[in-house]
C-alpha cells in the first residue's frame, strides 16, 4: 500500500512540476502616502520655530509620494501564483529657510521596507497577436519596517556657525502591518521574458513613533502603480 501511495505522490509532483512555473520580477512604480500624523508634527515644529527665525521659514516638503522599487518571486500552477514580495519606499518632510546671511533646515526622512506574501489569480487569458496576455488579481499581506532619520542644520558663515543636531526624542525604527490588493496585466514577450503593469492600494496599519509628548503613526497607506519586467524559469 505504501508503495502505491508513494508512486501516486511522485506522479502528482511530476505532473505539478511539468505544469508549474517559477518567476522572478522587478518593477518600479509610484506610491503616495497619507502620513497625517507626520505632517502634523511638521506643523507643530514650524509653529515653535517661527518666533526664533525670520518670516520666510516654511515647510518645503510634506511627505510627498515618491518612486517605489519592488521585487518578487512566485510559483505558478495554472491560474494560481504564490510567492514573496518586497518593496522599498521613501518620503520626507522638511522645514527650511535661507538668505544671504545663512540657512536653516529641519529634515525628517522616512524609509520603509515592506516584506510579505502574495497570492495571484489569473482570471483572464488572451493574446495580443501571438503574445500571451494575462490579467490577474493580487492580494499581499506584509510587515513594514520603518526607519526614521532626523537632521537639523544651522549655518551662519559670518559668525563661523555650522551646527547639526540629531533628535533624541523620536524612536528611529518601528514595525507595522499592511494588506495590498492589486489588479495587473502581464504580457509574455518571449517564452521566458515578460513585462507587467499593476495598480492598487496599500492599506497600512502603521507603526507608531514614540515622541516626548505623544505617539505618531507612520502611515504608508496610499495608491500604488507599477511597471515591471520579469523572467520565467
Q: For residue range 72-87, what is the model confidence (pLDDT) as tens digits? A: 999 999 899 999 999 9
Q: Judging by beta carbons within 10 Å of its beta carbon (0-12, 13-18, 19+), is residue 32 exposed, middle or buried?
A: middle
pLDDT at 136: 98
pLDDT at 19: 58
pLDDT at 102: 83
Q: How far apart are CA 178 and CA 193, in angstroms?
A: 30
What is the pTM assigned to this prediction? 0.84
pLDDT at 165: 67
Q: How far apart are CA 46 and CA 104, in angstroms?
A: 12
Range 181-195 burial, b when 16+ CB lie within 10 A, else e: ebebebebeeeeebe
What is the distance, to the nearest Å, from the Cα of residue 153 to the centroid of all Cα atoms in its chain?
A: 28
Angle of CA points 220, 226, 230, to nearest 5°: 125
Contact 125, 115 (CB under 8 A): no
Helix (H) or strand (E) holding 5: helix 2-19
Smallest CA-to-CA distance from 37 within 12, 18, 62, 60 is with: 62
pLDDT at 163: 61
What fold, for 22-232?
Porin (2.40.160)
pLDDT at 202: 97
- Residue 49 φ/ψ, nearest 5 degrees: -85, -30
Cell of 131: 503574445
Q: How far apart are CA 54 and CA 221, in angstroms?
A: 35
Which residue in the block uniquely carries the three cell numbers 511522485? 10
pLDDT at 14: 43
Q: How far apart are CA 147 and CA 119, in angstroms?
A: 27
Q: How far apart are CA 81 and CA 87, in angstroms?
A: 18
- Give every residue of the chain whose pLDDT is below 70, as ranges: 1-19, 158-172, 210-214
pLDDT at 225: 97
Cell of 219: 502611515
Residue 110: strand, helix, or coil: strand
pLDDT at 105: 86
Q: How far apart are CA 5 and CA 231, in angstroms?
A: 35
* Residue-level length of the chain: 233
Amino acid at each position: 500500500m505504501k508503495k502505491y501511495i508513494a508512486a501516486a505522490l511522485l506522479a502528482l509532483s511530476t505532473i505539478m512540476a511539468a505544469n508549474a512555473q517559477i518567476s522572478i520580477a522587478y518593477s518600479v512604480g509610484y506610491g503616495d502616502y497619507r502620513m497625517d500624523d507626520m505632517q502634523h508634527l511638521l506643523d507643530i515644529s514650524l509653529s515653535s520655530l517661527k518666533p526664533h527665525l525670520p518670516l520666510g521659514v516654511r515647510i518645503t516638503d510634506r511627505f510627498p509620494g515618491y518612486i517605489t522599487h519592488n521585487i518578487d518571486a512566485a510559483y505558478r500552477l495554472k491560474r494560481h501564483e504564490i510567492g514573496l514580495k518586497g518593496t522599498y519606499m521613501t518620503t520626507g518632510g522638511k522645514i527650511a529657510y535661507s538668505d544671504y546671511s545663512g540657512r536653516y533646515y529641519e529634515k525628517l526622512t522616512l524609509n520603509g521596507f515592506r516584506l510579505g506574501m502574495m497570492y495571484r489569480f489569473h482570471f483572464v487569458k488572451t493574446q495580443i497577436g501571438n503574445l500571451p496576455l494575462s490579467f490577474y488579481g493580487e492580494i499581499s499581506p506584509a510587515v513594514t519596517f520603518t526607519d526614521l532619520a532626523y537632521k537639523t542644520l544651522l549655518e551662519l558663515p559670518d559668525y563661523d556657525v555650522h551646527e547639526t543636531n540629531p533628535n533624541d526624542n523620536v524612536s528611529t525604527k518601528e514595525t507595522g502591518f499592511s494588506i495590498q490588493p492589486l489588479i495587473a496585466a502581464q504580457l509574455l514577450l518571449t517564452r521566458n521574458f515578460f513585462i507587467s503593469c499593476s495598480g492598487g492600494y496599500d492599506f497600512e496599519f502603521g507603526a507608531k513613533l514614540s515622541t516626548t509628548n505623544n505617539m505618531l503613526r507612520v502611515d504608508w497607506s496610499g495608491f500604488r502603480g507599477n511597471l515591471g519586467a520579469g523572467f520565467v524559469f
